[in-house]
Amino acid sequence: MVTGILVSCGGLPPEKQAQQHYLQGKVFENQGDFRGAGVEYVEALRLNPRMAEAYVGRGVVFMSLGNYDSAIVSFDRAILLDENLAEAYEKRGLAHLSKQDADSALLNFSKAIELAPQSEHVYHTRALVNISLGNTEAALTDLTFVIEANPLERRYYEDRARVYLALDDSANAIADLERVLDLTQDQRYAAQIRRIIISIRAGS
């Protein structure tokens, strides 16, 4: 499949060839083949050194190898080329988070959200970081947003219930856990949630 794409690229201008290699890299990345993705992203950048998206892809490959410093350098380059590329900030935030730099991660997630305000998964990630830092009000705001955006996602209610418990708001925590019960088909898990609800009520 790769050979076919490379051959079909032959008569195209370098920028178009770069786009084809980038798209093939995304295919490999989505399949979990980061080695294949890396080869395609490098070729895309050889053909078009100003392709910001390919630097993001290369950064993702570096992250898959645990090379977070090199990943950040790639994301930095992408942002230098396109300061409005939301994905580059999101991925750079994840790289900083992997390096236990939560503050830098939050700054990047916030910039990604500023550029792409409907990025539900980035709001959720930012909420989880804020939970870990004890920033409960900020986490609550983000979790409420994602629940409004996607009211059928069970884990959002689970995470918001944790925040409510941290805020000593047992009534809203129970309400969210009851919503979890509505959304789960796993009876064993449901039984666990019911025990948690009983425990919260007993402590209220």
- For the chain, helix (H) and strand (E) counts, in that order, are 12, 0
Do 87 and 136 belong together in one domain?
no
Asked if residue 179 belongs to a domain, the reply is yes
Give dist(CA 70, CA 60) in Å, integer: 10
Please state the rounded mean pLDDT for residues 51-56.
Answer: 98
The CA distance from 126 to 138, in Å, is 9
Note the pLDDT tens digit of each residue in 133-177.
Answer: 999 999 999 999 999 999 999 999 999 999 999 999 999 999 999
Of 108, 112, 86, nearest to 99 by C-alpha is: 108
Q: Are residues 92 and 156 in the same domain?
A: no
Whether pLDDT at 71 is above 80: yes
| 31 falls within a domain | yes
143 and 200 in a common domain? yes
- 18 and 67: one domain? yes
Last residue of a domain, one of 36, 64, 98: 98
Whether 150 maps to a domain, the answer reads yes
Phi then psi dihedrals of residue 123, to 5 deg:
-55, -45
Q: Is 5 exposed, middle or buried (0-12, 13-18, 19+ CB in 10 A)?
A: middle
- Asked if residue 108 is part of any domain, the answer here is no
DSSP codes of every residue in 98-111: HTT-HHHHHHHHHH
Domain finish residue from 98, 133, 164: 98
Q: Are residues 14 and 74 in the same domain?
A: yes
Q: Are residues 89 and 154 in the same domain?
A: no
The whole-angstrom separation of Cα 124 and Cα 144 is: 10
Name the token pair of 20. Answer: 């084809």
The pTM assigned to this predicted structure is: 0.88
Total structural domains in the chain?
2
Q: From CA 143, how far away is CA 146, in angstroms rounded?
A: 5
Token output for 7: 């051959």
Could you tell me if residue 63 is inside a domain? yes
pLDDT of residue 203: 87
Domain holding 36: CATH number?
Answer: 1.25.40.10
Do 11 and 93 belong together in one domain? yes
Q: What is the pLDDT of residues 89-133, one digit of tens each?
A: 999 999 999 999 999 999 999 999 999 999 999 999 999 999 999
Give the residue numbers spanning the domain of 204: 118-204
